Amino acid sequence: MLVKFLNKISQRYASQWLVLLFDICVIIATFFLAYLIRFNFKLDFEFSVLLKQVPYVAVVAAVSLVAVGSYKGVVRFTGFKDILNIIIGTNILATLLICCTFLSRKFIDGNSIFDISGSIIYIHLLLNILFLTGAKLFIKSLYNQVTQDINTTSNVLIFGAGNSGMLTYDAIQNDTKNGFKVVGFIDDNEGKIGKKINLVKVFKIDKIDNNFIKKHDVEDVIISIQNIDPSRLLQITGSLFSLGLKVKIVPPVQNWIDGDLSVGQIKEVKIEDLLGRDPINIKNPDLEDQYDNKVVLVTGAAGSIGSEIARKVTLYNYKKLILIDNAESALYDIQQEFRQLGLTNIDAIVADVRNKTRIDQIFNTYKPKIVFHAAAYKHVPLMENNPFEAVSVNIGGTKNVADIAVKHSVDKFVLISTDKAVNPTNVMGATKRIAELYVTCLKGKGHTKFITTRFGNVLGSNGSVIPLFKKQIDKGGPLTVTHKDITRYFMTIPEACQLVLEAAAMGNGGEIFVFDMGEPIKIFNLATNMIILSGLRYPEDIDIKITGLRPGEKIYEELLADGENTKKTYHEKIMIAKSRHIDIDSTENQINTLTSVNSLTQPLEIVSAIKALIPEYISNNSTYEVLDSQK
């Protein structure tokens, strides 16, 4: 019953007028005390005069406090600004009393209730600041103590004893329902070690061991360092996870709501926080002009990249958004997502990019001005066994949409490519490279500007390694890695789609945009980090099994092909690949011949034609290696 009562009381707030009355009562009490201090705690003054002055002081106090609005603050959340308001309000009170005293002495003869000794006024001022501030902070502390007693609390450490750490501490202290109690800070700065901040001690990370955790009953660590080096973050989280602690992270200050941090924004560390590089951010005001009142069409709109591109386009003042995909269920899902957001100027169309007549009909109906071509087959092992499908979609589908874009005078056509197109070792990568070559051949053949974006693996995309590892962890392992030294470049889906939209804005036609994605990440390390993020241990709880390279799989991947180098753009993370010269007529003829093959054509024959087009395509761990030996 007591707990329920305290919970009920804790959810109610005192009336503003009750707070004002309380403050006035404190001011009256300090007025009495100011008199006592002035006369050395002896009653050597006219008590009747003091009693007559009390109503006058109360009225002036009310005017002063109402002027600054100090009574509007919620006492349990008293902070620096509230204390500043009290100081300003009490100074206004003292100033008004001094002014009235001066006027009283000048214009009113004899004793007056307005005539108060200057020494009493200044003593009263200091007492008001002390007692009003102290009373508010005492009530706040008492409230926090009571609510912490009735709520389940989790002892936490804050990593970072700087400004961000202090703001995190204040956010936790002010939000008593968060269930956190700060028992210490951790910091790398030797000068802070052993000192106390807000009566909370600062520790070195080396001191955080099992004995420390048991002694202080610590469950969580909140990392509150702005612009922390990703490699250092990885090192810290690895150390803390190994102790069985949960690790949370404070978001960048630009993501704080209205510039203030709330406890609800503190989230558990995610795998994208451990990429080993700084997140890529692009802010280009010109993007608004690019998509203003434009009809935008996205192929492969139900996929991970296509759907995120569509989401980002909806942030602009587009005229119409056309979503094309042949995956009916996934397309329905993205359509419903947009409808629930109240977006009505979006049409979802089930169509196959291989059907040229159908695609032409859609372009003729909607007349798009910007096209994002994300439709493609992307799974390396599947395409290695089905080269006809890879050719028909990745090359034939691209050719259809690109040709129709030229026919209907689309302004910009953005091809979504991959780093697997660089010096390909598999069918999928080779077909994507041919798609790049085809749009390059179309440069200058019409109004349309063709732009290619090439990036590495996308975290969390359909069929990628992250969802696979999550499923394997849920089943108790083991996690499967094809080679202990295999590395990949990674980026998040939002980063990838930021690049695509930026490329569409800066491209003038014919460019292949590549990203500075930092250092490649070892998949084996990614697997161990995901095990640790799940609160488990490697190899005690979940093991990692090396399965061997799959057909067509590389150990390392590149972003530039042989004979390519880069030139800079206005964004430090975006570069343009300088491609080698190609014979456009010969390349177009070969691509036309390749896309005319039918499903009865033998895989070796199809792959042989691909290799003729892409001399750098050398198969790896594949049945098609025999074709390389014949060169």
Three-class DSSP category at 180: strand
Distance CA 35, CA 44 (A): 10
294 has catalytic annotation: no
Distance CA 446, CA 407 (A): 8
Which of the following is catalytic: 399, 420, 432, 522? 420
Distance CA 583, CA 566 (A): 21
Report phi then psi at 554, rounded to 5: -95, 155
Distance CA 514, CA 499 (A): 9
Residue 620 structure tokens: 């790896």
Three-class DSSP category at 317: coil
Distance CA 16, CA 14 (A): 6
Element counts in the chain: helices (H) and strands (E): 22, 22
Angle at 443 between CA 438 and CA 444, to 5 degrees: 145
**Nearest C-alpha neighbor of 156 from the set 183, 178, 129, 190:** 183
Distance CA 134, CA 93 (A): 18
CB atoms under 10 Å from CB of 337, counted, come to: 13
Residue 421 structure tokens: 């197109």
> What sign results for the dihedral spanned by CA atoms 400, 406, 408, 409?
positive
Residue 352 structure tokens: 């196959």
**Nearest C-alpha neighbor of 374 from the set 526, 506, 500, 536:** 500
User: Helix 398-407 to helix 427-441 angle, to the nearest 10 degrees?
Assistant: 10
Residue 158 structure tokens: 């804050």
The catalytic residue positions are: 420
